[in-house]
Chain A
């Protein structure tokens, strides 16, 4: 259906109202939510014999959750409104989503609270398993592969407390065949290798090389760079690409002696090796580069048939094709399973078909074995995780380029306890969503800050250094060349307001920077509290006695407050766009 943007917004607004007042909305030309059946979700135009099932960025969410997509997703002007930088209204328009539909609920922030009550939670391994098994049974086990683009072992309390092991058990239960990594490495090298021993899947990466000159593995690959799997009578070459910037985005000490990077030259060599020496029928790159970086990879490396991407958490209902390479990415938090059917005849790819299937937990029944497994994995921690800390008045969510309510709550907690001038909370894209009026559980706090380096550090920084660091972080997010981005969002700042012109050159984006309502003084020393980054390494006079894990700081704050009421008015004014989700060209 072809409708103009204006019409679309009007309809969306009208339906939004309808859904709130009547508790029932009809979708435009589609089925009403109540009529969506399992059959609709499974419906697929079967193609060829081979099926690749793809998951990415589950962030250890083995239970269903609410996860609201961003309402602000800004990038450099050349990238705004392109796949990887689409949200809300622009996303719905680009992919032709029907307002208030199940897809709109899964893929956008629009009407989230009302639709959450209608459609329920998303993901969870028990529901994923039912979906995966149904497809595997239909297509045949010998014709199907389950590929995981990483960021799977970290992101919840149960993952943190078991050193990632609970999630490895979940992957073995799902039947993951091959994976790559990023946050996996924050358990440290030794633990990663231990977990890989327990993992049924193969862990591959062509872009991790030893760089300790005194180690046996100096200049050697740490993992197998690729694997060749025979399925559906074809040879599938799968090359692994772990997150190229792990050692800068996360503390170096976890991967000391391992060097990361994009390594496009060796990627090209492995593509050629698979084709010429191993005569594979299909070359797949299983990647944690990020959706926009992988579009650059496809431009620069020849001969890749499919890139199964991850890291940037984009749900992309349609594949994109660049330089004959088809790129897909399957959202985050276990919300989706991507199904890619490939038709290979006479060693050539004749066609493919793709669908991003939402794991709607109210529609896809849970596999009882999965529920049992989840309960068993959580049992030792139930008492701590289920503790009710308080209630939230408004929606607590994580994401958006500059600000989100759950991050603000964390900043409020840090500022309250640490008595600092400025707090920094990282711009990760994983976390959770708590609906208005709901209890906040300890489990939710772990979902927001469950990492292996949780300490809040309090230290001093000069005003000019703070301004410089903010510009540096802004360039990691807004560089016009995706290869120089790190795929996260801006750090979230408490106690600070600023204006930003994203399209300005490096070092000149931020203006009107204020601390505590007053213009920042370049020469003054400010007290900073920060967690989850490397910022403390730039600071001075670290206050050692104040160091505490962020999840404890947040827990205690919510308990003190009992009811939290976080305003959704952000602290950042965006000067070059009029909305958070611009279309291509910047129009709103």
Chain B
């Protein structure tokens, strides 16, 4: 933060209320734990920077418009033989605009037989939901869909 804008911020805060101290301006940047990453950092943490390829093998089923943003039903199925040498290791659900975009990580083994699950996730706003599936060969496959979260109001 530049000195000039800092002084302005302090001045404004002081003007608004005598009790307010300029501590906000001094606060250090919050440490970034695994739950504090933006979408890009979260994806990088998962893939180690490897390419994510959109794939028709990943099937995402979710509503176009959420009935309730707090519990949005999401179903994922990934086409895979699920044999010891070719299976889906993990399925990861990202709410790309939530403050914590990582919502679900599912780990699988060939014994699961099918790479599929359903859950409900919370969406803070209208956004893209991204599914990333990791194969046993180390590839990352994806599918995504925009889900609208709205107060509604038409009819």
Measuring CB to CB, which residues of chain A are less than 8 angstroms from any residue of chain B? 183, 211, 244-245, 247-250, 252, 259-262, 265, 426-428, 469, 472-473, 475-477, 479, 483-484, 486-489, 491, 506, 532-535, 537-538
* A250-B155 CB under 8 A given contacts A265-B61, A475-B150, A484-B148: yes
Q: CB within 8 A of B152: which of A249, A259, A265, A484? A: A249
Stretch at the interface among B21-29, B39-47, B63-71: B63-71
B151 within 8 A of A: yes
CA distance A538 to B64 in the complex (A): 22
Name B's interface SS: loop
* A472-B154 CB under 8 A given contacts A252-B67, A252-B68, A484-B64: no
Q: Which residue of B lies closest to A482 (CB)?
A: B64
Q: Which residue of A lies closest to B59 (CB)?
A: A265
- Is the CB–CB distance between B64 and A248 below 8 Å? no
Q: Which residues of A contact B153 (CB under 8 A)?
A: 249, 426-427, 473, 476, 488, 491, 533-535
CA distance A244 to B65 in the complex (A): 9
CA distance A469 to B150 in the complex (A): 9
How many inter-chain contacts with C-beta < 8 Å in the A-B complex?
82
CA distance A484 to B126 in the complex (A): 11
Q: Which residues of B contact A265 (CB under 8 A)?
A: 61
* A506-B152 CB under 8 A given contacts A252-B68, A483-B64: no
Q: Which residue of A lies closest to B146 (CB)?
A: A484
Q: Which residues of A contact B154 (CB under 8 A)?
A: 249, 426-428, 473, 476-477, 486-489
Q: Which residue of B63, B126, B146, B152 has the most chain A CB atoms within 10 A of its CB atom?
A: B152
Chain B residue total in the interface (Cβ 8 A): 17
Q: Which residues of A contact B65 (CB under 8 A)?
A: 244-245, 248, 484, 486
Q: Which residue of A lies closest to B62 (CB)?
A: A261
- Is the CB–CB distance between A472 and B151 below 8 Å? yes
* Known pairs A249-B152, A469-B151, A488-B154 / 20 extra A-B pairs, C-beta < 8 Å: A183-B155, A244-B65, A245-B152, A249-B154, A259-B73, A261-B64, A265-B61, A426-B155, A427-B155, A428-B155, A472-B150, A473-B151, A475-B148, A476-B148, A476-B153, A486-B65, A486-B155, A488-B155, A533-B153, A535-B153
Measuring CB to CB, which residues of chain B are less than 8 angstroms from any residue of chain A? 61, 63-68, 73, 126, 146, 148, 150-155
Q: Which residue of B lies closest to A248 (CB)?
A: B152
Q: Which residues of A contact B126 (CB under 8 A)?
A: 475, 506
Q: Which residue of A lies closest to B63 (CB)?
A: A261
Q: Which residue of B lies closest to A245 (CB)?
A: B65
- Is the CB–CB distance between A534 and B152 below 8 Å? yes
- Shortest C-beta distance, B16 to chain A (Å), equals 10
Q: Which residue of B lies closest to A265 (CB)?
A: B61
- Shortest C-beta distance, A288 to chain B (Å), equals 12
Q: Which residues of A contact B68 (CB under 8 A)?
A: 247, 252
Q: Which residue of A lies closest to B125 (CB)?
A: A472
Q: Which residues of A contact B61 (CB under 8 A)?
A: 265
- Shortest C-beta distance, A267 to chain B (Å), equals 13
Q: Which residues of A contact B73 (CB under 8 A)?
A: 211, 259
- Shortest C-beta distance, B87 to chain A (Å), equals 25
Q: CB within 8 A of B64: which of A262, A472, A489, A506? A: A262
